[in-house]
């Protein structure tokens, strides 16, 4: 009988502890958490643009065999490009239409030259004086920073090396600048 009572007491103690445990554990351990997932969207619009402040090159009156640089010691014009398509692009240059010069006198396009005077772009820029040609020439190849919308600025110098055999007179030309994804 005594053993039975002792057993009952043990069971009673365990049961009481179990009740206390059951009541307190959710309070102690079961810190609740609920969540809600939301999705956000935006479309960033593409930009692919070029701006030129002056594309007419007026060399004035040039004598045969003379070399004339426009605005010697500084730059003549600036072009600005913005593109954010995330793809490589190229800036190209070429002569537009006929060279303005003395009547009946034709001089080769290569007599006109251009060079990049200054750029902060980190892409590949042509260096040194380059001869114009009738076909577009690559002036600058973009890098990844240019391709996500950072404005690219290119400042140019131009010169005319008039051949000794050419006629002296007033010379000028128009230049076309392109921004393209085609090499």
Partner 1 sequence: MIKKPIFIILVFMLLILPEARSFAAFEMSLAEGFQTIDFGTMQMDEKKSITRKGNYEHRFDFTSDTGRTWYFKTHMMRPFTSAQHSIPAENMQWIVEQVVNGGGLVSNSVGSPGNFSTSPVLIYTSSGNDSTGTTVQIKLKYNLKIPEYQAAGSYTAHIRFIMVEVL
Of positions 28, 43, 165, 182, contacts partner 1 by CB under 8 A? 43
Which of the stretches 6-14, 98-106, 124-132, 160-168 binds partner 1 when contact is defined by CB under 8 A?
6-14
Nearest to partner 1 of 83, 93 (CB atom): 83
The residue with tokens 């973009």 is 142
Cα separation, 75 vs 97, in Å, equals 23
Among 6, 10, 16, 170, binds partner 1 (CB under 8 A): 16
> With left for phi above 0 and alpha for psi between -120 and 50, is residue 21 left, alpha or beta?
alpha
CB 122 within 8 A of CB 145: yes
What's the burial of 168, exposed, middle or buried (CB within 10 Å: 0-12/13-18/19+)?
middle
Q: How far is it, in rounded angstroms, from Cα 105 to Cα 117?
A: 30
- Which x/- pattern, by CB under 8 A, does the window 116-155 give for partner 1? -----------------------------x-xxxx-----
The whole-angstrom separation of Cα 180 and Cα 56 is: 21
Please report, for residues 5, 24, 26, the alpha-carbon distance to residue 19 in angstroms, rounded to integers and kept in the order given.
21, 9, 12
- For partner 1, the closer of residues 23 and 103 by Cβ is 23
What distance in Å separates the CA atoms of residue 123 and residue 88, rounded to the nearest whole number? 10
Q: What are phi and psi of 17, to 5 degrees?
A: -60, -40
Contacting range for partner 1; rule: CB under 8 A; set: 4-12, 94-102, 124-132, 163-171: 4-12
Identity of the residue, 27 or 182, whose beta carbon is nearer to partner 1 in the bound complex = 27
If you ran DSSP here, which 8-state letter would residue 146 be given? Answer: G
Structure tokens at 158: 């131009």
Give the shortest CB-44-to-partner 1 separation in angstroms.
5
Which residue is it, tokens 């537009």? 96
We find the least distance from the C-beta atom of residue 126 to partner 1, in angstroms, to be 24
The nearer residue to partner 1, 24 or 61, going by C-beta atoms, is 24
The interface with partner 1 within residues 72-101 (CB under 8 A) comprises: 84-86
Give the footprint of partner 1 on residues 22-41 (CB under 8 A).
22-23, 25-27, 30-41
Chain residues in the site for partner 1 (CB under 8 A): 8, 11-12, 15-16, 18-19, 21-23, 25-27, 30-47, 84-86, 145, 147-150
């Amino acid at each position: 009988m005594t053993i039975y009572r002792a057993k009952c007491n043990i069971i009673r103690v365990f049961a009481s502890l179990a009740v206390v445990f059951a009541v307190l554990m959710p309070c102690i351990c079961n810190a609740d958490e609920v969540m809600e997932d939301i999705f956000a969207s935006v479309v960033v619009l593409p930009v692919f643009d070029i701006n030129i402040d002056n594309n007419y090159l007026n060399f004035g009156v040039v004598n045969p065999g003379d070399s004339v640089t426009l605005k010697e010691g500084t730059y003549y014009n600036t072009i600005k490009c913005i593109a954010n398509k995330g793809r490589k692009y190229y800036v190209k240059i070429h002569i537009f239409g006929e060279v303005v010069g003395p009547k009946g006198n034709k001089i080769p396009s290569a007599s006109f030259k251009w060079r990049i005077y200054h750029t902060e772009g980190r892409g590949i820029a042509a260096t040194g004086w380059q001869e114009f040609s009738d076909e577009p020439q690559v002036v600058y190849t973009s890098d990844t920073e240019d391709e996500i919308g950072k404005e690219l600025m290119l400042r140019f110098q131009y010169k005319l090396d008039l051949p000794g055999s050419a006629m002296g007179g007033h010379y000028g030309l128009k230049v076309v600048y392109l921004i393209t994804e085609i090499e």
